[in-house]
Amino acid sequence: MHLTWFDWSVIAAYFLINLLIGLWYRKRATGSTDEFFVGGRSVSWWLAGTSMVATTFAADTPLAVTGLVAANGIAGNWVWWNMLLSAMLTVFFFARLWRRAGVLTDVEFTEIRYGGKPAAFLRGFRALYLGLPINCIILGWVNLAMVKILTIIFPDLSLTALGITDPKVAALVVVFAIMVVTSLISTLSGLWGVLVTDLFQFVLKMGMVIVLAYYAVKAVGGMGEMKTKLLAMDAAKGGGSILSFTPDLNSAWMPMITFCVYLGVTWWSTWYPSAEPGGGGYVAQRMFSAKDERHSLLATLWFTIANYAIRPWPWILTALASLILYPTLQDKESGFVKVIVDPAVFPPALAGLMVAAFAAAYMSTVATQLNWGASYLVSDFYRRFVSPGRTDAHYVRAAQVATLLLMVVSSVVTYFQSSISGAWQFLMAIGAGTGTVLILRWFWWRINAWSEVAAMVTSFVVSMFLKFGLNWDTSNPRQFAYTMLVTVACSNIVWPIVTLLTQPESRETLLAFYRRVRPGPLLWGDIAREASEIKSSGDGMLNLRDWIAGCVMVYLTLFGTGKIIFGEWGMGLGLLAGAVCAGALVYWDLSSRGWKVLDDK
């Protein structure tokens, strides 16, 4: 791809706007760690929710979706579509509880739910585990996507002034430079800068992927011609259809057992960034930053709708077109970028905007991961265990140092990663089985710190044994399903036994947590009776109804939109009508609580 002076001007303007936003919020962010990490808890729902969407729309996401579609058809997206069930659970059951907790990070939650040395150990362990290896794996695959993008856009990329001629190493250096700029903005402006740049970046990158999908479909002859060619590919491969939203029995694109595991097991059992059972991670960080419980719930609801119903189709359409345009391409993930650099497909005049859009996709995720990871390392480890009692200014400086550490380590991780979608599935596998504890810790008094430790350790050990001991490949759909089932089964046998063999949390700890968070009393027994002044809202069944209606609304919107795109207007409009009915029920239920959904006060 050849970039003109106009393209470079567009790219420069993009970076300048981001830097100006960072400078604008600098004074506000550096006043305290509360401002730096959770925006002073004064963020409106629409901004917090849009930031969640922007963060999950990383440079790696369209490439990973392209790889999934190439391997398993449209139905391959159930690897993340199933997480809607977990995300909607967070909306109606956990968003308000997280906001009531009033913590700075979800790891800090450990020491208000549990007590003593086990709680302290769990907090420190989770801070280091999530803040360094897990966060760096996530940053690594985001970096890998940008490296792939740069090496395809600039195949002869080199940095001769630095003596670097290997295109991959040169791309990695460029990515590191962009990360430096991103971290500069993040450390200057804290969460407020991240939130506002996320809004700007989301509008840019969403607009450009829609434009890209239009030109990709046009290049293969239009929607009708694309469907004809894809059906021919189905006939050649045999079994199932690449265009099916759900797999056929014994589908070559996705085995039924894998689909059933996604839909029946993964969403509630697996810890995964942005879709943790019970909420957590940077999604929880945005909930902490919301003005109040209403804004916390509405932020996660908007995020869930936008993430699963609005974003996917431009990526999927471009992925399908790339399979037709480049049938012999070995690295299917790179097909998405191939469409961009092909002058016969994408207008060269828009090259600068598209490069800026990919930079936006990259930066929105990296800014959040750096801020989120630094919050664990500083608030939950350094301040808690290493150097307590220092000033807020000291901890803000420590967060800046932690940001630099994350940058360096993630760059090393990037060099050794090879597949984006493979990293997704690996992360799911090692987190399988922990979800039950993460959900029940809110609602059952008997869960203790050792329950979480047992679930985490068992899941990790079993998944590692299956991968490296038995050589089960998580990129193979069937073996991924078996890995999930075995890991979840083992974890959910071990942690209840450990729970019952260890001491429960102290009465004082449980009472303090119950009074602070006010969960439903059903499984809190004597604790709920002793804290009788805490009145139950009695909306458990209402939450369940809204969870079902919310899931129906989003899935029908997703599939109805797809049907219309593929020319099936009758079915598409029928599905969208069902989505409107489900959405109306959710709106009615929220309004019955005295909430004006569109009121930002």
Percent of the chain with pLDDT over 90: 42
Q: Enter the tokens of residue 142.
A: 């985001």
Domain ranges of the chain: 5-419
The residue assigned the tokens 């009465």 is: 507
What's the pLDDT tens digit per position in 129-173? 888 888 887 888 788 778 878 888 888 777 776 677 777 778 888
pLDDT for 420 beyond 60: no
5-419: CATH architecture: Up-down Bundle (1.20)
pLDDT of res. 249: 64
Dihedral pair phi/psi, residue 164, rounded to 5° = -110, 115
pLDDT for 203 beyond 90: yes
What is the reported pTM?
0.88
pLDDT for 295 beyond 70: yes
pLDDT for 187 beyond 80: no
User: Does 225 or 279 have the greater pLDDT score?
Assistant: 225
What's the pLDDT tens digit per position in 539-581? 778 899 999 999 999 999 999 999 999 999 999 999 999 999 9
Average pLDDT over the chain, rounded to an integer: 86
pLDDT of res. 426: 66
pLDDT for 427 beyond 70: no
pLDDT of res. 419: 54
Q: Which of 352, 343, 359 is nearest to 7 (CA)?
A: 352
pLDDT of res. 49: 93
Q: Enter the tokens of residue 193.
A: 């800068």
Task: Return the axis-axis angle of helices 45-56 and 167-219, rounded to nearest 10°.
Answer: 110
pLDDT of res. 58: 80
What's the pLDDT tens digit per position in 429-480? 677 788 999 999 999 999 999 999 999 899 989 988 988 899 888 777 788 8
What's the pLDDT tens digit per position in 36-68? 777 778 889 999 999 999 888 888 788 889 988
Q: Which residues, other chains included, contact 387 with Cβ-Cβ below 8 Å and sequence gap of 6+?
A: 394, 398
pLDDT for 502 beyond 90: yes
User: Does 321 or 365 have the greater pLDDT score?
Assistant: 321
pLDDT for 30 beyond 70: no
For the chain, the farthest-separated pair of C-alpha atoms sits apart, in whole angstroms, at 72
pLDDT for 92 beyond 90: yes
Comparing 372-386, 406-420, 426-440, the range with the smallest average pLDDT is 406-420
Cα 123 off chain centre by = 22
The top-scoring range by mean pLDDT among 7-16, 315-324, 373-382, 393-402 is: 315-324
What's the pLDDT tens digit per position in 239-258? 668 888 887 766 655 678 88
pLDDT of res. 242: 87
Q: Enter the tokens of residue 548.
A: 């079902």
pLDDT of res. 274: 66
Q: Enter the tokens of residue 437.
A: 């504890």
pLDDT of res. 124: 93
What's the pLDDT tens digit per position in 6-23? 888 999 999 999 888 888
Torsion angle, alpha carbons of 373, 374, 375, 378, to 10? 130
Dihedral pair phi/psi, residue 355, rounded to 5° = -60, -40
Dihedral pair phi/psi, residue 146, rounded to 5° = -65, -35
Q: Tell me, what DSSP letter sits at residue 534?
A: S
pLDDT of res. 153: 84
Q: Is 432 helix (H, G, I), strand (E, B) or coil?
A: strand
pLDDT for 592 beyond 90: no
pLDDT of res. 122: 92
What 453-458 contacts at long range (C-beta under 8 Å, 24+ apart), as own/partner pairs, is: 453/118, 453/121, 453/122, 453/125, 453/498, 454/491, 454/494, 454/495, 454/497, 454/498, 454/499, 455/491, 455/492, 455/494, 455/495, 456/129, 458/433, 458/490, 458/491, 458/494, 458/495
Q: Is 387 helix (H, G, I), strand (E, B) or coil?
A: coil
